[in-house]
Amino acid sequence: MTQQHYDFDLFTIGAGSGGVAASRRAGSYGARVAICEESRVGGTCVIRGCVPKKLLVYGAQFADAFADAAGFGWTVGETSFEWAKLIAAKDRELDRLEGIYRKLLADSRVALFEERGRIVAPHTVEVGGERYTAKHILISTGGHPIVPDIPGIKHAITSNEALDLPTLPERIVIVGGGYIACEFAGIFNSLGAEVDLVIRRDKILAGFDDDIRTALMIEMEARGIRIHRNTVVNRIDGFGDDLEVVFGDGARRGVDRVMFATGRRPNTRGLGLDAVGIACDGAGAVPVDEWSRTAVPGIYAIGDVTNRINLTPVAIAEGRALVETLFNDNPISMNRDGVPSAVFSQPPIGTVGLSESEARRLHGGAVDVYRARFRPMKNTLSGRDEKTMMKLVVDRATDRVLGCHMVGPDAPEITQGLAIALKCGATKKQFDQTVGIHPSAAEEFVTMREKVPEPEEAKAAE
Q: Annotated catalytic sites, by residue? A: 438
Q: Which amino acid is at 159?
A: S
Dist CA 21 CA 176 (whole Å): 31
**Residue 361, SS3 per DSSP:** helix
Dist CA 299 CA 10 (whole Å): 10
Q: Which amino acid is at 401?
A: V
Dist CA 248 CA 297 (whole Å): 48
Measured between alpha carbons, how far is residue 198 from residues 188, 203, 270 in Å?
15, 10, 33
Cβ neighbours of 99 (radius 10 Å): 12
Contact of 14 with 135, CB cutoff 8 Å: no
Cβ neighbours of 194 (radius 10 Å): 17
Dist CA 292 CA 369 (whole Å): 36
Instruction: Supply the Cα-derived Rg of the chain in whole angstroms.
Output: 24
* CA 331, chain centre distance (Å): 28
Edge-first strand order for the sheet with 233-239 is 233-239, 242-247, 252-255
Dist CA 359 CA 353 (whole Å): 9
Element containing residue 13 per DSSP (H, E): strand 8-13
Is residue 80 exposed (0-12), middle (13-18) or buried (19+ Cβ within 10 Å)? exposed
Dist CA 441 CA 39 (whole Å): 42
Dist CA 13 CA 149 (whole Å): 29
**What is the 3 state secondary structure string of 166-232?**
CCCCCEEEEECCCHHHHHHHHHHHHCCCEEEEECCCCCCCCCCCHHHHHHHHHHHHHCCCEEECCCC
Question: Cis (ω within 30 of 0) for the bond into 297?
Answer: no
Count the residues in the chain.
462
What does the DSSP assignment read for 66-96?
HHHHGGGT---------HHHHHHHHHHHHHH
